[in-house]
């Protein structure tokens, strides 16, 4: 397999004559394209599609199962959340179809505007009368069930923005002050706004995506470490400023120390996973979802997967994410242009980093941060964003230069 990125091999030379050979008889009244295409569409990556479809299918079933208790108790309709998730799957599929069909290279021009728009939305969320407050954090814009979470879209926007900048920048990424610093500043700006909501989980995901993209762009390791060193005081301060936050974040080290308070989430999550054993207690038969495990259909849905489907189910999900990552990275490395390369890798990071941090949290390997599990957790904005991200990866993979 040749893993050499295509863009590195030669300059793009439009082959105008290729399209003129034997023009097909046109039946439609649509006028003929003035400048013929220099790219053709390859069939979409089947394995990528299947792995994501499996994850989405597992997610829909598990959202129905895990949310049914809360849905019935609060809304007297077991399918309350399932129906909403189904609606968002529809919206997400349409958006993904659009993201798949569009010529992604033409999106480059929108990146700065999109970035500014997202930043404004994140600021708007913090304005008292615009942002809806749930459980003490302002994350939503809009009303009730139709609200959107700008921080979810911010992930995608940042990936997009960084991909454009990195593609334009080229070797300049090797420079600290002109390459690494501006991009890190942009990343931290977004992360800081999200952290103010407060939403430490998404903020840390933003930072992780930023560093991952700089890393794959070839930024020098000492530069990245310098950037990390710069963030360290902020992280340390936010952890140790308030004792409750410290206890909460460090609870994963020993959840049994305080199982009814700070360790509660993790202990219940481990109970759920442990109860599942090898084969699970059976689909729908989770006990922990009966109000023992908090956030059982959002951030801790993976515990319910573990309880109902067992180790077999959880390993399947992990394997599906690795299969997805394998195909996504392969597509990125075969990308026709630098922008596609960065876009695909950024989207991959967006999904896989979230997935593994989420699984890390529920297995008590990582501090408790509110991160949803892509494709599986309940949440409309996240599902739409994740589906768009996958579509963009597939879009990158589809683009083949004619004749290559």
Of 123 and 132, which has the nearer Cβ to other proteins?
A: 132
Altogether, the residues listed in the chain come to a count of: 404
CB 177 to other proteins: min, Å = 7
CB 271 to other proteins: min, Å = 4
Q: Which of 158, 203, 212, 390 binds other proteins (CB under 8 A)?
A: 212
Structural contact between residues 25 and 354, judged by C-beta atoms closer than 8 angstroms: no
Does residue number 156 form part of the binding site for other proteins (CB under 8 A)? no
Of 11-19, 192-200, 229-237, 269-277, the window that binds other proteins (rule: CB under 8 A) is 269-277
Of 37-45, 68-76, 83-91, 371-379, the window that binds other proteins (rule: CB under 8 A) is 68-76
Q: Per residue in 210-240, is it b (16+ CB within 10 Å) or e — as a string?
A: bbbbbebbebeeebbeebeeebeeeeeebee
Q: Which of 37, 101, 178, 242 binds other proteins (CB under 8 A)?
A: 178
Of 25 and 222, which has the nearer Cβ to other proteins?
A: 222
Structural contact between residues 309 and 280, judged by C-beta atoms closer than 8 angstroms: yes
Does residue number 69 form part of the binding site for other proteins (CB under 8 A)? yes
Does residue number 341 form part of the binding site for other proteins (CB under 8 A)? yes
Q: Which of 332, 343, 376, 384 binds other proteins (CB under 8 A)?
A: 332
Task: Please name the residues in contact with 306: beta carbons below 8 A apart, sequence gap of 6 or more.
Answer: 272, 273, 276, 280, 313, 314, 362
Does residue number 364 form part of the binding site for other proteins (CB under 8 A)? yes
Does residue number 52 form part of the binding site for other proteins (CB under 8 A)? no
Q: Which of 93, 105, 137, 175 binds other proteins (CB under 8 A)?
A: 175
Residues 219-238 that bind other proteins (CB under 8 A): 220
Does residue number 174 form part of the binding site for other proteins (CB under 8 A)? yes
Cα 32 to the chain's mean position, in Å? 39
Of 52-60, 91-99, 125-133, 214-222, the window that binds other proteins (rule: CB under 8 A) is 214-222
Question: Judging by beta carbons within 10 Å of its beta carbon (0-12, 13-18, 19+), is residue 246 exposed, middle or buried?
Answer: middle
Structural contact between residues 226 and 183, judged by C-beta atoms closer than 8 angstroms: no
Of 178 and 257, which has the nearer Cβ to other proteins?
A: 178
Of 208 and 239, which has the nearer Cβ to other proteins?
A: 208
Distance of alpha carbon 359 from alpha carbon 371, whole angstroms: 9
Does residue number 217 form part of the binding site for other proteins (CB under 8 A)? yes
Q: Which of 271, 283, 400, 401 binds other proteins (CB under 8 A)?
A: 271
Q: Which of 111, 193, 359, 394 binds other proteins (CB under 8 A)?
A: 359
Does residue number 147 form part of the binding site for other proteins (CB under 8 A)? no
Residues 301-330 that bind other proteins (CB under 8 A): 306, 310-311, 314-315, 318-319, 321-322, 325-326, 329
Of 49 and 292, which has the nearer Cβ to other proteins?
A: 292
User: Cβ–Cβ contacts within 10 Å for residue 66, how many?
Assistant: 33
Of 52-60, 94-102, 276-284, 381-389, the window that binds other proteins (rule: CB under 8 A) is 276-284
Task: Tell me how many residues contact other proteins (CB under 8 A).
Answer: 59
Rounded to 5°, the CA angle 167-169-173 comes to: 110
Task: Please name the residues in contact with 73: beta carbons below 8 A apart, sequence gap of 6 or more.
Answer: 291
**Would you tell me which residues interact with other proteins (CB under 8 A)?**
3-5, 8, 69, 74, 76, 170-172, 174-175, 177-178, 212, 215-218, 220, 270-278, 285, 287-288, 290-292, 306, 310-311, 314-315, 318-319, 321-322, 325-326, 329, 332-333, 341, 345, 349, 352, 356, 359-360, 363-365
């Amino acid at each position: 397999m040749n893993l050499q990125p295509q863009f590195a091999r030669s300059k793009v030379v439009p082959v105008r004559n290729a399209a003129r050979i034997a023009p097909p008889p046109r039946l439609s009244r649509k006028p003929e394209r003035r400048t013929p295409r220099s790219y053709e569409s390859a069939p979409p990556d089947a394995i990528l599609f299947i792995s994501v479809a499996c994850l989405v299918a597992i997610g829909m079933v598990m959202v129905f199962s895990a949310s049914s208790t809360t849905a019935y108790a609060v809304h007297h309709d077991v399918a309350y959340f399932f129906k909403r998730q189904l609606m968002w799957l529809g919206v997400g599929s349409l958006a993904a179809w659009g993201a798949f069909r569009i010529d992604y290279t033409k999106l480059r021009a929108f990146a700065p505007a999109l970035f500014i728009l997202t930043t404004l939305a994140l600021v708007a969320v913090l304005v008292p009368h615009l942002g809806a407050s749930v459980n003490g954090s302002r994350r939503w814009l809009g009303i009730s069930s139709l609200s959107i979470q700008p921080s979810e879209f911010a992930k995608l926007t940042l990936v997009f923005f960084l991909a454009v900048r990195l593609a334009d920048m080229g070797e300049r990424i090797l420079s600290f002050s002109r390459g690494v610093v501006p991009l890190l500043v942009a990343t931290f700006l977004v992360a800081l706004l999200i952290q103010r909501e407060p939403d430490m989980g998404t903020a840390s995901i933003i930072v992780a995506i930023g560093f991952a993209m700089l890393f794959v762009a070839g930024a020098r390791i000492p530069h990245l470490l310098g950037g990390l060193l710069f963030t360290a005081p902020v992280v340390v301060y936010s952890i140790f400023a308030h004792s409750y936050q410290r206890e909460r974040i460090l609870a994963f080290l020993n959840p049994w120390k305080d199982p009814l308070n700070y360790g509660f989430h993790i202990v219940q999550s481990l109970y759920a996973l442990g109860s599942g054993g090898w084969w699970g207690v059976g689909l729908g038969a989770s006990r922990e979802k009966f109000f023992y495990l908090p956030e059982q259909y959002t951030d801790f849905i993976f515990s319910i997967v573990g309880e109902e489907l067992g180790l077999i189910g959880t390993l399947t999900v992990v394997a599906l994410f690795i299969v997805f990552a394998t195909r996504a990275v392969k597509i990125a490395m075969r990308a026709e242009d630098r922008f596609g390369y960065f876009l695909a890798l950024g989207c991959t990071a967006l999904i896989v980093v979230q997935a593994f941090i989420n699984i890390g949290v529920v297995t008590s390997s990582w501090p408790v941060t509110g991160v949803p599990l892509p494709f599986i957790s309940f949440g409309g904005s996240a599902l739409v964003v994740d589906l768009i991200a996958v579509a963009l990866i597939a879009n990158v993979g589809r683009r083949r230069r004619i004749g290559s």
